[in-house]
Amino acid sequence: MTLDDITIILCRPSESGNVGAVCRAMKNMGLTRLRIVAPETPLDEEVILARTVHAQEVWRNAGLFDSLPSAVADLSLVAGTTRRRGKNRKDFSLTPEELAEALRARTGKAGLVFGNERTGLTAGELALCNLASHVPVDEEFPSLNLSHAVQIYAYSFRKALIAESGGGWVPVDTAAIDALVRTVADSLESVGFYKQAGRGEQERFFRDIFARSGLTMDDARRMDGIFRKMARLVDGIRSGTANDD
């Protein structure tokens, strides 16, 4: 599934400003499909556009529906957001991260339904959803602003469904770690560190530390350069030609 396969559905929204803020939250994370079901009060486009900032197209392309069944009819999976459990409601509820992982493994079109700002989803509306989801907030103050809730889900979806290029933290492999360990040990040996046996034990120590720390290739190259320079400096001191270039 991709972000283009996900539709955010606002059921009975009452605040135009919240709708505009939802558009902005969606656009921040690459979500563009919005559906609005039976607003409780007429939506004020001027207010909405003022809150969308640079996400006006999300609002202008939004679908307007009279009922939730018609809004979800073409979707293969529908999740409803709610913090309430009980009779006639879902048996279990997924966190945003768990829901995002569940969607990642699927194909088809999915919808995420948010209820009215004050009352949330009714039992009947939730019954039209296949899954329930909740944000695990502090029970002493569990109410979330609608756009904030959408932002949390949108971010979770983006993390799960988008493989960022260039910005990911990719640890070096074992071969690179072994090469770095040899450089470190060779450099230490060249300055007389190993007066007695012990290099093998220290190599194992460095190998484990480097592996656990998750060094990137840039980290490994920089460390390699530091230890090589250290060995050259010591060799220069011994020969009387040391410099710090």
Helix spans in the chain (H): 16-28, 45-52, 56-60, 68-72, 96-104, 123-127, 146-161, 174-190, 199-213, 217-239
Q: Order of strands across the sheet with 131-133?
A: 63-65, 33-37, 6-11, 110-114, 77-81, 131-133
- How far apart CA 12 and CA 146 sit, in angstroms, is 12
CB 85 within 8 A of CB 93: yes
CA atoms within 13 A on the CB side of 178: 3
Summarised one tens digit per residue, pLDDT across range 189-231 is 888 888 767 788 888 889 888 888 888 888 999 999 999 998 8
Whether 124 and 208 map to the same domain: the answer is: no
Average pLDDT value over all residues in the chain: 89
Whether 142 and 71 map to the same domain: the answer is: yes
Whether 52 and 155 map to the same domain: the answer is: yes
Whether 97 and 31 map to the same domain: the answer is: yes
- pTM higher than 0.75: no
Task: End-to-end CA distance of the chain: give it in Å, rounded.
Answer: 52
In a domain, 116, yes or no: yes
Last residue of a domain, one of 102, 136, 161: 161
In a domain, 244, yes or no: no
Lowest mean pLDDT among 65-79, 111-125, 209-223: 209-223
* Non-local CB neighbours of 172 within 8 Å, separated by 6+ positions: 180, 215, 216, 217, 219, 220
DSSP state of 5: G
Positive/negative CA dihedral, 222, 228, 229, 230? positive
Whether 91 and 113 map to the same domain: the answer is: yes
Whether 98 and 216 map to the same domain: the answer is: no
In a domain, 225, yes or no: yes
Q: Which amino acid is at 237?
A: I
CA 130 remoteness from chain centre = 23
pLDDT at 22 over 70: yes
131 CB burial (10 A radius; 0-12, 13-18, 19+): buried
Whether 58 and 85 map to the same domain: the answer is: yes
Last residue of a domain, one of 108, 137, 161: 161
**pLDDT for 88:** 61
Q: How many domains does the chain have?
A: 2
Whether 156 and 178 map to the same domain: the answer is: no
In a domain, 60, yes or no: yes
Last residue of a domain, one of 128, 161, 194: 161
Whether 57 and 153 map to the same domain: the answer is: yes
In a domain, 167, yes or no: no
Distances from the Cα of 98 to the Cαs of 106, 136, 160, in angstroms?
13, 12, 10
- How far apart CA 236 and CA 239 sit, in angstroms, is 5
pLDDT at 59 over 50: yes
In a domain, 113, yes or no: yes
CATH number at residue 109: 3.40.1280.10
* Non-local CB neighbours of 219 within 8 Å, separated by 6+ positions: 172
20 band by pLDDT with thresholds 50, 70 and 90:
very high
Positive/negative CA dihedral, 56, 58, 61, 66? negative
In a domain, 166, yes or no: no
Whether 35 and 112 map to the same domain: the answer is: yes
Domain containing residue 133: 3-161
Whether 12 and 67 map to the same domain: the answer is: yes
Whether 109 and 41 map to the same domain: the answer is: yes
In a domain, 153, yes or no: yes
Residue that wins the pLDDT comparison between 193 and 150: 150
